[in-house]
Structure 1
Amino acid sequence: MLTSLAVILLLGMFLGGIFDKLRLPSLVGMIIAGIIVGPHGLNLLSKPLIDVSGDLRQFALIIILTRAGLSLDVEDLLKAGRPAVLLCFLPACAEILGVVVLAPPIFGISVVEAAIMGAVIAAVSPAVVVPRMLKLLEEGYGKEHRIPQMILAGSSMDDIFVIVMFTAFISLEVSGSVSASSFAQIPISIGTGIAIGILVGIIINRFYSELKLRNTVELIVMLCVSFLLLELEHVASKVVPISALLAIMSMGMVINRKNPNLASKLANKYNKIWVGADVMLFVLVGATVDMKYVMASGGLACILVVGALLFRMVGVLLCLVKTKVRKNERAFCMLAYTPKATVQAAIGAIPLSMGLPCGQVVLTVAVVSILLTAPFGAFIIDKTYKKLLTRT
């Protein structure tokens, strides 16, 4: 496994660096590195590493969301108001609707299968969006109308909403029926996740204030607590739904609110860890790609992904109706809400593993959505934010 880790990090950083020199998103090079060394390429990765790749991707997601929480100001988030709330679910609903409309005639699948596919590709990638929104906050772009804060909050909750919808649609396909309680889990998981995150954040802040630990020790404690929150979500799932990802993000927000200096120090530590986690995440995403299936139906998948994105952009635009956000800022929000990667890599293969007839085409569309939108979204955000947003 150690050899495989070395291959992932070295080749990922090498190809990522090449793409960066070419002024292209480095994550494209990392994804290509994963395709090369993955099971469907040269097969240089050990089976034990492949088996735990889901956990490693989740580790990267923890770092992303904690960094977001430590950098988000609660007052700014509350002042963002209605648009931030709508961004949590309306664009995803619009994209799922787009796939339900477009996928049946394109791939000959049922409406429920199209809904499953839509739920897979409808999630925004925090791995692409969050680091860039944090950069905007640091540089002062879009602060007047809280554009980075809205996108940070919306993209984080968007993933949770989509995953619950995916579970409900899978249940409908397998059993032929879905209960109202499946959809009721969405607001419950969001509420419990935020509440637990706030409580844990208060406890940790008090704990740090009393003991005066080293920054590195504080970082280790935060990571361990995040892991325990994920386990809590799994253990409590039969009793009450809990969004551990929202809890992790809320925990960081509370620390930022109670102790900004501590939040800044922890954020710097997380930034250093992210250097390696970034490479690990996208190389492992690339390792899931089977290019044979992508080449077989990639053209139709591209048409579907682009069409679904147009529906999503309309959804983002609706979220900003009757707000003070300017036209150029609305255009930026529509573009910034396009990249996909993490959730698609995590759940794209589930229908196939369950033996559903739509499994292979869902996986293919998920892979194509990553390859198209992750580099496009990263590139377009990096190239347009200075032109479309105002610096304050």
Structure 2
Amino acid sequence: MFLNGLTEITLPLKNPVLQFSLILFIILFVPFFLKRLRIPSLISLIIAGAVAGPHGLNLMLRDSSIILFGTVGLLYIMFLAGLEIDVADFKKNSGKSILFGLYTFLISQLLGFFVALYVLGFSLLSSVLIGSIFASHTLIVYPVVSRLGIAKDKAVNIAVGGTMITDTLALLVLAVVAGSSSGELTSAFWIRLFIGITIFSLIVLLLFPFIARWFFKRFDDSVLQYLFVLGMVFFAAFLAEVAGVEAIIGAFLGGLSLNRLIPHTSALMNRIRFAGDAIFIPFFLIGVGMLIDFRAFFKDAETIKVALVITVAATVAKYFSAWITQKIYGFSVDQRRLIFGLISAHAAVALATVLIGYNSITGYTLDGDPVRLLDKSVLNGTILFILVTCTLASIVGEKGAQNIAFAELADEASSPDVHAAPERILIPMNDMKTVDELVNLGITIKSPKNRDGLFALHVADSTSPGGAVEKHAEKLLEKAVITAASTDNDLTGVFRYDTSVANGIAGVAREQRVTDIILGLHHKSSLADSFLGGLSEMLLATCNGTIFIYKPVQPLATIKRTIAVIPEGAESEEGFIFWKDRLSNMVNNSSSKLIFYASKQTLGYLKEYHSASFPNAEYKIFRTLDEFSGLAKEVRSDDNIVVVMSRRNYRSWHSRMAKIPAYLGKYFGRNSFILIYPVQSGGADESIAFSESRLSGGIQFSMVPLRSQVESMLKRVSFKRISLRRNRKEPQ
């Protein structure tokens, strides 16, 4: 068949452009239509691969490109699992994960061995190999967990951590059996394996974070950062293969090593998830489906028998492991379902194991036919085994994940936080160089569940010429909108004319009912300038919201520790609960370690009433604010200093606070720091108060927000000039 007399179209498709286009349409439409039949999207792609593959309609071959993208997809799943896991909780539950992985492996390995040996009648080595197929599993349900936002659930942490144990042991069994069948199982084999795994683990877990932190500090280009992360992950996978273990272990450890450097609310994390969900993971699922040959199931009764026996036995083993975990740790039924869904799907590792067993020839018959470790009935039966277990795992795991996510939403709705107010964060900006970091701080301190409530503001002198000022404002606000949009957050850009920058900021804050203001630390232009600058001091005197004054030296993602200095009596301030929530969000979203420095009384209050907000914080006594010189000896270059201040004459205010800017400039000039001025009265309902005398100046302004729209491809921002209305009659 010819298209325009030029391109011949034959089956299977050979044209790479048409082949790739077909795969994209499969990813786009098949899950949408099969969802109406209540078929999970994961299974719909596997079915689509089986129908379109060489054993179905023969539209495509499972060629090198499908294998390449499929391998990337599998590694991507393991990488995301390591990247999204709660490291602090993972460390806390590491013993539970190891225990879970060990008994899950033993139950599956032993049951698989005895079923293969006594029910199916295989040899000793073949039975051990089939047991390793039972023991391993693939986290194909993890993308659902990630999408529903429950990746930090304790059951998920234990299951994901246990996966590393079970898959490592299963692959070790595979290596031992393969070595035994080929006569290579010597003491040198064990020494080489132990040394290789040790060196590989040290390189990935210790050296990778150091290199990544160096890179992120010096390169802020989003494309370069994404390519760097992918390069590190796949290099970790290669190092794992060199060490003698499977590449998926390297991908998981690579994600774990980069976990703290890629915040969950960052633009980089958004790009990583997008590429995986849109391209790589669907390719992997379609590639798995292409292995399925439905006709083989009806050609040989032995294939049906093997498939049925190993499917039932493996499913029972995984369910028993999930049931034991539920009983030991007191999990809910839905958490048991979720664990079962995560550990019961068998795909890549099972396929690799059975292919190695099929290609391992242990001898020859009298007729000259090869005697394989695993025969063709096991190969074909494993394909059906993969299809059934992936389907069952997707249905059960997705049901459990959805119920857990719905329960979390219901809990939040039934017990709202009385202190929680709609977050409306205003970020005044004038310097193009600091736009990204100021917006990133705003995204980091707010709740990740709120996707709006961010405002970027540029105030221009009303006497300045309009054209150049508006172009500068448009560039600033466009960059801010794009930065926020890259993290799936909505930001409203606002441009305003005023005779005073402080008046303009205060006016917008009142009109937009702002709860928090983020200011960048000004650059001193003369010796007469104060440390904070006239603008910041005026806003502190006129605005009564929570004000953050931020000096970014390095990206928030590269911060190792957050040092929070709390003044004595801070817990008695009205605004304590508000800055406490923002600090908790910042630490959780950036994955930095938090260390409190405060008086004994304040530390006791934080431990007793707010330990849930800071579950992994350290507490150190800091008697007076004059101890900054001693604190400087404990602060490292990758630390972020947070100092909670107070306005004059309020409960936690002390005259020594006047010295803090000088201390910061003297001792912490190479560190990022944030000064927090809490709201002093009115709480969230009156978050911004104004000094009317300062705002009255004979000029009134009507403010129209910038209507910013980021297009999906062009990311263009529409811009409107703000009308200026004076008391005297002038044309607007």
Q: Which residue of 2 aligns with 1:342?
A: 348
Report the 3-state secondary structure (helix = DSSP H, G, I; strand = E; otherwise coil) of the residue aligned with 1:41. Answer: coil
> How many percent of aligned residue pairs carry the same amino acid?
20
CA RMSD after TM alignment: 3.1
Contact 1:38 1:45 in 2 (8 A): yes
Aligned to 2:83: 70
Q: Which residue of 1 aligns with 2:214?
A: 206
Q: How far apart, CA to CA, are the structure 2 residues paired with 1:327 and 1:86?
A: 20
2:297 pairs with 294, 297, 305, which one?
A: 294
Which has the bigger relative contact order, CA under 8 A and spacing at least 6?
1
- 1:295-353 Cα deviation digits (max 9, x unpaired): 33224412321122212333444556654545664454345421222222344323223
3-state SS of paired residue (1:125): coil
CA contact (8 A) 1:57 1:342 kept: no
Tell me, in whole angstroms, the C-alpha distance in 1 between the residues paired with 2:178 and 2:28: 37
Rounded to whole Å, the distance in 2 between the matches of 1:242 and 1:195 is 15
Which residue is equivalent to 2:385? 369
Report whether the alignment pairs 1:5 with 2:20: yes
Amino acid at match of 1:288: L
Letter aligned with residue 145 of structure 2:
M
- List per-residue Cα deviations over 1:178-204 (Å, max 9, x = no partner): 457767777766544442222212211
After superposition, the C-alpha distances for 1:23-62 in whole angstroms (9 at most, x for unaligned) are 211222222222223222333325xx61344332221122
- From 44, 53, 56, the counterpart of 1:41: 56
Cross-structure match for 1:268: 270
Task: Give the Å deviation of 1:382.
Answer: 1.4
Tell me which residue corresponds to 1:152: 160
| CA distance in 1 between partners of 2:314 and 2:308 (Å) | 10
The 1:194/1:129 distance shift into structure 2, 3 A limit, reads farther
Instruction: From 130, 141, 145, give the equivalent of 1:117.
Output: 130
SS in 1 for 2:60: coil
Equivalent pairs, count: 378
Residue identity matched to 1:11 = I
Instruction: Please state if 1:171 is matched with 2:179.
Output: yes
CA-CA distance at 1:273 after TM superposition: 1.0
320-329 or 1-10, larger mean C-alpha shift: 320-329
Amino acid aligned to 2:309: I
d(CA) in 2 for partners of 1:4, 1:38: 12
Quickly say closer, same or farther: Cα 1:344–1:300, change in 2 above 3 A.
Answer: closer
2:315 matches 1:309 = yes
The AA in structure 2 aligned to 1:129 is V
- Counterpart of 2:99? 86
CA offset at residue 208 of structure 1? 0.9
Which structure shows the higher helix fraction? 1
Give the equivalent residue in structure 1 for 2:564.
none
Aligned equivalents of 1:328, 1:10: Cα separation in 2: 34
Task: Mark the CA change 1:25 to 1:192 in structure 2 (over 3 Å): closer, same or farther.
Answer: farther
Residues 6 and 344 (structure 1 numbering): CA distance in 2 closer, same or farther, change over 3 Å? farther
Equivalent residues of 1:340, 1:374 under 8 A apart: yes
From the superposition, tell whether residues 248 and 105 of structure 1 become closer, same or farther in structure 2 (CA, over 3 Å).
closer
The answer on 1:131 being equivalent to 2:139 is no
Normalised to the residue count of structure 2, the TM-score between the two structures is: 0.47
Contact 1:104–1:111 under 8 Å retained in 2: yes
- Partner amino acid for 1:248? A
Q: Distance in 2 between matches of 1:58 and 1:40?
A: 20
1:16 has 2:31 as partner: yes
Per-residue CA shift, 1:110-146, capped at 9, x if unaligned? 13212212223432112x132233245x248x73xx1
Q: 1:149 and 1:377 mapped to 2: Cα distance?
A: 17
2:112 matched residue in structure 1: 99
Distance 2:400 2:383 in 1: 26
Q: Which amino acid aligns with 2:385?
A: S
Say if 2:76 and 2:251, in contact at 8 Å, map to a contact too: no
Query: Hey, what's the Cα distance between the residues in 2 that align with 1:40 and 1:328?
Result: 37
- Change in 2 beyond 3 A, CA 1:332/1:69: closer
* Change beyond 3 A, Cα 1:32–1:92: same
Letter of the 1:276 counterpart: I
Paired with 1:242 and 1:163, the residues of 2 have a C-alpha distance of 7
Q: Aligned partners of 1:6 and 1:81: how far apart in 2?
A: 44
Which digits, 9 at most, give the CA deviation of each residue in 1:83-103, with x for residues without a partner?
211233431332121121112
- Report the CA distance shift for 1:246/1:358 in structure 2 as closer, same or farther (over 3 A): closer
CA displacement at 1:253 relative to structure 2: 2.9
User: How far apart are the structure 2 equivalents of 1:223 and 1:259?
Assistant: 13
Q: Who is 1:218 aligned against?
A: 225
Pick the structure with more strand per residue. Answer: 2
* Pairing partner for 1:283 from 274, 280, 286: 286
- Matches of 2:258 and 2:123, distance apart in 1: 47
CA deviation after TM superposition for structure 1 residue 227, in Å? 2.8
Structure 1 residues 267 and 347: alpha-carbon distance in aligned structure 2, compared to 1, 3 A threshold: farther
SS of residue matched to 2:266: helix
How many angstroms apart in 1 are the aligned matches of 2:344 and 2:381? 15
SS of alignment partner, residue 377 of structure 1: helix
Q: Is the 8 A contact 2:49 2:285 kept in 1?
A: yes
Q: Which amino acid aligns with 1:381?
A: G
Native 8 Å contact 1:84 1:150 kept in 2? yes
Rounded Cα–Cα distance in structure 2 between residues aligned with 1:201 and 1:171:
34
Match of 1:161 among 130, 144, 169: 169
C-alpha distance in structure 1 between counterparts of 2:343 and 2:90, whole Å: 18
- In structure 2, the residue corresponding to 1:88 is in which secondary structure? helix
2:334·2:404 contact (CA, 8 Å) conserved in 1?
A: yes
Q: 1:282 to 1:196 in 2, by over 3 A?
A: same
Distance 2:321 2:196 in 1: 23
2:441: which partner in 1? none
String of CA shifts for 1:250-277, please: whole Å, max 9, x gaps: 333343324536x733221122112122
Q: 1:75 to 1:38 in 2, by over 3 A?
A: same
User: Quick one: structure 1 residues 182 and 387, their matched pair in 2 at CA, closer, same or farther if it must change by over 3 Å?
Assistant: farther
Task: State the structure with more CA Rg.
Answer: 2
TM-score between the two structures when normalised by the length of structure 1: 0.83
Greater shift in the superposed pair: 278-287 or 112-121: 112-121
Provide closer, same or farther for how the CA distance between residues 105 and 245 of structure 1 changes in structure 2, counting only shifts above 3 A.
closer
Q: 1 CA distance for matches of 2:28 and 2:354? A: 25
Taking the aligned partners of 2:166 and 2:358, their CA distance within structure 1 comes to: 24
Residue of 218, 228, 232 corresponding to 2:235: 228
CA contact (8 A) 1:92 1:162 kept: yes
